[in-house]
Structure 1
């Protein structure tokens, strides 16, 4: 009997089941893990939904009329490709969302800063009086947002994994904030990764592009731009007025960066991107700027944990790729006038090229502390350029940093790697670091 297979039982997979059940669409859940994380909740909420666990059953997949993949499941898995060859549709949660949704959508992707910009745009929309729902790859899955009774606007963070299986999304505004190599263990090439990201522009009405990153460019007639340089007419960028750098629109200064609660050039780009998106949608400039004056950043993103012995300790555990860590080093290094950085890095490398970090490390970093699977690989790149210590735990990393840091230095946890070799997720890694720092 033909049936809908939900492949993968994580948070998104469970949201897919909830949606299908509410629509009266029967489904079977499959997961290659014997104990997927949402199994108990699925059995509690929907005990009637069949679940097949363990190694994928080829015979079961042959009965599928549609495969609905969780983001963690690659559409390039051999068993998925076999079904695609016989014409079985392969979709994801965002495709289901797009097929039923009638409310305007702002769609946001990029290698880094997705969550910060999505949060900022959501806060700006709320400040402007919109009934806004924020989610997707951040917080609440998109399909769970559909239960909101009265919503004027959806602001969705979308990952490359979600975009791979999305075909029908018609966003009012779509943006790719930036692209640097990431998830190459899944996408294999930077081109394939870019192509997945570019899918966000399909059917969108207005594209918001990063003038500094040609990989974010959209082949659409309606575009707005933001840049870290002096903006051209109609662009958002940085403008120096009377010796002070301002967020600006064209030649009009909007807000001095020294009033922003969050430091760093990478954050200024996030603020400019959010302003550009909000401007494109018609948000009040005054209310958007007020949000920027008040926003203190998200946890695990260059988050100041404490100042101890005149040393600042920063948690950037969300720096799970080389591009994010490069931006964090530059942003924090530029604000560290009298000292240097002590960098804690390492974890699961995901096929990254760590040599990209070397110029920033040489310019801003006094000492590098490495841990996790990729420690030796990173050490081979930087040894001889900057002093380096390899450690076996986060506790050892914090203790070493406390020993080598000097007054006015900043200690920065920005791993440039995934966390799953030593921690449950990047949040857990950041929490362990923060607890150890507070205990010093």
Structure 2
């Protein structure tokens, strides 16, 4: 994928958002377990003149929300748990000069309970006690995405799922650009939706990566085309159980109507029987079945649309490894056809697909050993997909902050493919317990030490794979930071 495809996916923006997420998680690690369904009504656009609006989170999305609310006549306070030294003093001064109050170093009960509206930045838990208390008092508590969709004039293509969201989102954005359309690409991927909402909104489409947390706080979200790629255990530290997480992902379709499209991975057991009323459902899977609209046959994606049209797209130049990326490309194809993109533009996009940084990215080769960076594999299912996709034998580097998942599927996938595992981070002992007696492992205190140890253990023809199966926040600012450290450690081997 070319540089144009990455222009909206700033790792700096992602870092700000994820930093806020992890700090909130440390304070209320299971707060969302008390969250209840809620309703709210806003005008289009919302009339907030003279109202007290609190924005939780001084990240890029919070700033964009605060600026719109200020321009719309609200009395705006930004509430942030991080301390002042974490922020650019010029930014703080600029916001204060615009009339925005900033409370740093912790959320204030009085501020939240006296608000007329509370807007949460992505990653701030809906179940945070102050949010629960505010909702009990009848104060609307919404997410940044909910505010954005009440301002949008542009139709939305939304992508959710446990894994593959960023790849599919970026590829769809590139495909639309290649078809001569203007598309804003953002959301959970990087640039917040509010950034687009407060602008001139001149694009043809918004292509949004959407997380379960955003769906939890956006009851009015209505994408013209919605994609659910897969649902596997993740964020169990933030949900009461896996079923609650599944319901959160399903919510992307709750407001769809006739004329809208819902694209589903029919091979996923949590999507196979999902059949909400309203939209046209397009299903895909690797194998051909009677109900699937897209499947793989003879090196191509074959599509049978409900309208009766038939399409065939060659995979001869498709460069992304793994079965999961074949599923991803089918999702892209069905979505593109659903919104009226010509076959030629779709085929050109398939031929140009390339791995995004930190997503099963080959970063080097040394003495016959290949090194793959999949730092974005922040849950067990993503790490399993990595293990199944790269050449074996594998020396695996895994570990980080535990998110509540079971690591036995990792051992199942790796028992015949992993030569040795180097375990790091807070979860290393939990992973070791599930690997014990099945996969040889050792421990490392740092990622740099893990890379050096992995290279010493690897033999020519082996693959050293960073697929952590955990979040990065115990040792790094975000997954991109972890990926950079891994690349630097690999590069250092050639200078050693």
Instruction: Please indicate, yes or no, whether the TM-score normalized by the shorter chain is above 0.5.
Output: yes
Aligned partners of 2:402 and 2:240: how far apart in 1? 13
Write the deviation string for residues 251-292 of structure 1: whole angstroms up to 9, x where unpaired. 864213x52122111111111111111111111122112112
Question: Normalising by structure 1, what TM-score?
Answer: 0.93
Equivalent residue, structure 1, for 2:224 = 172
Equivalent residue, structure 2, for 1:157 = 209
- 2:454 maps to 1:405: no
Aligned partners of 2:434 and 2:467: how far apart in 1? 17
Q: After TM superposition, list the pairs within 5 Å mapping 1:407-422 onto structure 2.
A: 407-422=460-475
Aligned partners of 1:103 and 1:218: how far apart in 2? 26
1:220 Cα shift?
Answer: 2.8
Q: After TM superposition, list the pairs within 5 Å mapping 1:206-225 onto structure 2.
A: 206-216=261-271, 217-221=274-278, 222-225=280-283
- 2:384 maps to 1:319: no
Equivalent residue, structure 1, for 2:313 = 254
- 2:153 maps to 1:102: yes
Q: After TM superposition, list the pairs within 5 Å mapping 1:9-408 onto structure 2.
A: 9-35=58-84, 37-38=86-87, 40=89, 42-47=91-96, 48-146=99-197, 147-204=199-256, 205-216=260-271, 217-221=274-278, 222-230=280-288, 232=290, 235-239=293-297, 241=298, 245-250=299-304, 253-256=312-315, 258-332=316-390, 336=391, 339-408=392-461
Write the deviation string for residues 171-217 of structure 1: whole angstroms up to 9, x where unpaired. 11011111111111111311111122122112222111110113233
Q: Helix, strand or coil: the match of 1:178?
A: coil
- Root-mean-square deviation (Å): 1.8
Q: Helix, strand or coil: the match of 1:67?
A: strand
> Is the 1:10–1:37 Cα contact (8 Å) retained in structure 2?
no
Instruction: Return closer, same or farther for 1:234/1:346 CA change in 2, 3 Å cut-off.
Output: closer
Instruction: Return closer, same or farther for 1:118/1:384 CA change in 2, 3 Å cut-off.
Output: same
Write the deviation string for residues 73-100 of structure 1: whole angstroms up to 9, x where unpaired. 1111121111111111110111111111
Aligned partners of 2:85 and 2:348: how far apart in 1? 43
Instruction: Return closer, same or farther for 1:41/1:194 CA change in 2, 3 Å cut-off.
Output: farther
Q: Helix, strand or coil: the match of 1:184?
A: coil
Please identify, of 428-437 and 39-48, the stretch whose mean Cα deviation from structure 2 is larger: 39-48
Equivalent residue, structure 2, for 1:7 = 56
Equivalent residue, structure 1, for 2:16 = none
Aligned partners of 2:116 and 2:88: how far apart in 1? 24
Instruction: Return closer, same or farther for 1:352/1:36 CA change in 2, 3 Å cut-off.
Output: farther
Instruction: Return closer, same or farther for 1:259/1:156 CA change in 2, 3 Å cut-off.
Output: same
Aligned partners of 1:79 and 1:39: how far apart in 2? 27
Write the deviation string for residues 309-366 of structure 1: whole angstroms up to 9, x where unpaired. 222110000011111101111122xxx2xx4111100000111111121210113211
Please identify, of 151-160 and 55-64, the stretch whose mean Cα deviation from structure 2 is larger: 55-64
Q: Kindly report structure 1 stretches of 4+ aligned residues shifted beyond 6 Å.
A: none
Instruction: Return closer, same or farther for 1:170/1:399 CA change in 2, 3 Å cut-off.
Output: same
Instruction: Return closer, same or farther for 1:153/1:424 CA change in 2, 3 Å cut-off.
Output: same
Write the deviation string for residues 24-63 of structure 1: whole angstroms up to 9, x where unpaired. 3321111222248556364143223111123332222221
Aligned partners of 2:382 and 2:72: how far apart in 1? 40
Q: Helix, strand or coil: the match of 2:116?
A: strand
Aligned partners of 1:177 and 1:314: how far apart in 2? 23
Aligned partners of 2:200 and 2:295: how far apart in 1? 35
Aligned partners of 2:491 and 2:174: how far apart in 1? 30
Aligned partners of 1:184 and 1:313: how far apart in 2? 30
Aligned partners of 2:195 and 2:292: how far apart in 1? 37
Please identify, of 1-10 and 150-159, the stretch whose mean Cα deviation from structure 2 is larger: 1-10
Instruction: Return closer, same or farther for 1:81/1:368 CA change in 2, 3 Å cut-off.
Output: same
Gaps of 5+ in 2: 1-49, 305-309
> Is the 1:5–1:29 Cα contact (8 Å) retained in structure 2?
yes
Aligned residues: 430
> Is the 2:61–2:195 Cα contact (8 Å) retained in structure 1?
no
